[in-house]
Chains A and B, each alone.
Chain A
Amino acid sequence: MLRFALAQIAPRLARLQENLALHVELVQQAFAAGAEVVVFPELSLTGYFLRDLVPEVALRRDAAQLAKLASLTREKGMLAFGFVEETPDYRYFNAVAVCWQGCLQGVHRKIYLPTYGMFDEQRYWAAGRCLRTFDSPYGKIGVLICEDVWHLSLVVLLAAHEVDYAFFVANSPFRGPSSPEPDPQRTWHVLNACAAMHLAAPVAFVNRAGCEEGVIFWGGSEFLNPDGTLRARADLIDEQLLIVEYDPRQTRQYRISTPLRRDENLLLTYHELQNLLERRHSGIR
């Protein structure tokens, strides 16, 4: 049995030290409750509406703050949290750090940056250019950040990477007041369920809570089984540390009963895409 902790927090805007302390506290709380894996939302160390603060709160991969959080996993467990990554050539990424065995093991950089409606991300962020997965002691992990999940191509790639678990972390704002279930919750649940079924793997979706800059983040973090059914769901809007138990043998059962993953023909996908892109490139439609 594996215990996941979905840390639905409301970080303060650009207050790294306070947010770091909150992370430490919640990781300790989660470990004390028997959790092995703790997942925080997108930009959990900094808050969302950073705008010109992006470079001011950015951390290099060797930053003490990242080492501090990684060190919490020295004896046991695994941790994923959001931060602003600065590269040596001064690009800034909306990133998720993945840690175990006391070390920062890898980083996923947000690939798709929404820049429409209320979102303005391409103004402030560099876009990630690759998809990495993480071979953790608990299995192979895939991480996507918010808008990434809306591009199903990335879910297909995670399946190609044969991940055992997917972490989808988000800062999804509330809008659409007409039903008891917020509009984005309905949409996200469809995305999460669809991804879980395609991956034939559990999905941990962790959204943030609270209000920032007049925008309410609706929370509602959820854990889905490989068949897309809902295993557990956190409250709307408010902070919560949701602990979810999952028996990895359920993945085996699902993959036996629904062997989509076995039958997936990546070579066909690859050739079709190649042909399509070649035709497009040469102007043939």
Chain B
Amino acid sequence: MSTTPAQTRTKDRFPVRLITADARAAAEKLLQIDCPLVARVLERFVRDEVLRAGFHRVIVGLSGGVDSSLSAYVAVRALGRENVIGVRMPYRTSSVESLAHAQLVADDLGIRLLTVPITAQIDAYFAQFPDADRLRRANKMARERMTILYDLSMAHHALVLGTSNKTELLLGYGTQYGDMACALNPLGDLYKSQVWLLARWIGVPEVIVHKPPTADLWIGQTDEAELGLRYRDVDRLLVLMIDARWTKSMLIEGGFAPEFIEDVAERVRRSQYKRTLPLFAKVSHRTIARDFRYSRDWGT
């Protein structure tokens, strides 16, 4: 799913160094969440922002993973199960387990579940580009799923609910205008470790919370193998680097390997474009998003 050039990465690319007890404690304290309160915050967010936009329903792509499952659980608490639609969009290589887990979530929540396979259109497209590498194929699949969600969004008058977490967003581990595309995203300010905590508390089935995260874009793919990072480690680093504004020297003192710090900082920098609007050439005195500044909730 990453749009960085495909390369073989192994786990633990970085020298194994234990972070200090102080750094660990500081990071864990910041990563801790009070689940009942956070759930209430996210529910109010989903309810208010959906209603403000003139909708009362959401649609969410269910991959069978923990992020999209959690989004669906939050949405049901916010809007009621009759107002949440799940969509499975399998490709022929998608794992049977992913499909089963999406079904498990839909059954547990009692929400409507649609299944729209993407094999035919993806294969038809790549028949023109037989040499396309797997990353191109993965990005294309993510964007194909986006167009389906937005089409169904219109058909069902339902806003597309996002499922990207803060770790993925900061690392740029997502497809721009693909899985990152949505109308609103309740998980965008929660690190992966926090997603796990909340998912467990809210009742996402343990089999989903516990399994290794995967975008399931090719057989055997796992996030951590592709990233060459463990979520637990990178969350600790990110929360200290981003939220607590630790400097590089503080992080090194905290026991993080300098190469690890640099790699992560560089990923965050390089993917900034994915987290912003496209750049507009300034020509007029009042340019959209630069000196034409209105909130999205303008007049609602």
Contact = CB atoms under 8 A, between A and B. Distances in A.
Given A13-B300, A211-B49, A214-B184, A177 B41 contact: yes
A49 interface: yes
Nearest to B286: A52
A236 interface: yes
B295 interface: yes
Contacts of A179: 34, 37
B92 to A, nearest CB: 37
A52 B48 contact: no
Nearest to B198: A177
A213 B296 contact: yes
B133 interface: no
A50 to B, nearest CB: 7
Interface in A8-66: 10, 12-15, 47, 49-53
A154 interface: no
A86 to B, nearest CB: 19
A23 to B, nearest CB: 18
Interface stretch (B25-33, B146-154, B204-212, B271-279): B25-33
Given A14-B298, A50-B295, A51-B295, A211 B34 contact: no
Given A177-B38, A214-B184, A52 B33 contact: no
A237 interface: yes
Interface in A126-168: none
Nearest to A237: B44
Contacts of B298: 13-14, 53
A185 to B, nearest CB: 10
Contacts of A10: 48
Most chain B beta-carbon neighbours within 10 Å: one of A177, A180, A212, A213: A177
Interface size classification for chain A: 20 to 34
B297 A49 contact: yes
A254 interface: no
A121 interface: no
Interface size classification for chain B: 20 to 34
B34 A180 contact: yes
B231 interface: no
A174 interface: yes
Contacts of A51: 293-295
A77 interface: no
B293 A211 contact: no
Contacts of A13: 295, 297-300
A177 B296 CA distance: 24
Interface in B81-123: none
Nearest to A175: B189
Nearest to A10: B48
A211 B295 contact: no
B144 to A, nearest CB: 28
A49 B295 contact: yes
Most chain A beta-carbon neighbours within 10 Å: one of B292, B294, B295: B295
Contacts of B297: 13, 47, 49, 212-213
Contacts of A214: 45, 49, 184
Interface string B227-244: 000000000000000000
Contacts of A102: none
A210 interface: yes
Contacts of B32: 178
Nearest to A48: B295
B36 interface: yes
Contact of B293 (A12, A52, A216): A52
14 contacts: A12-B300, A13-B299, A14-B299, A15-B299, A50-B295, A53-B298, A177-B37, A177-B38, A177-B194, A178-B29, A179-B34, A180-B36, A211-B45, A237-B40
The 10 A-B pairs at the shortest CB distance, nearest first, are namely: A211-B48, A49-B295, A51-B293, A178-B32, A177-B33, A177-B38, A213-B295, A52-B293, A13-B297, A180-B34
Interface of B: 29-30, 32-34, 36-38, 40-41, 44-45, 47-49, 184, 194, 292-300
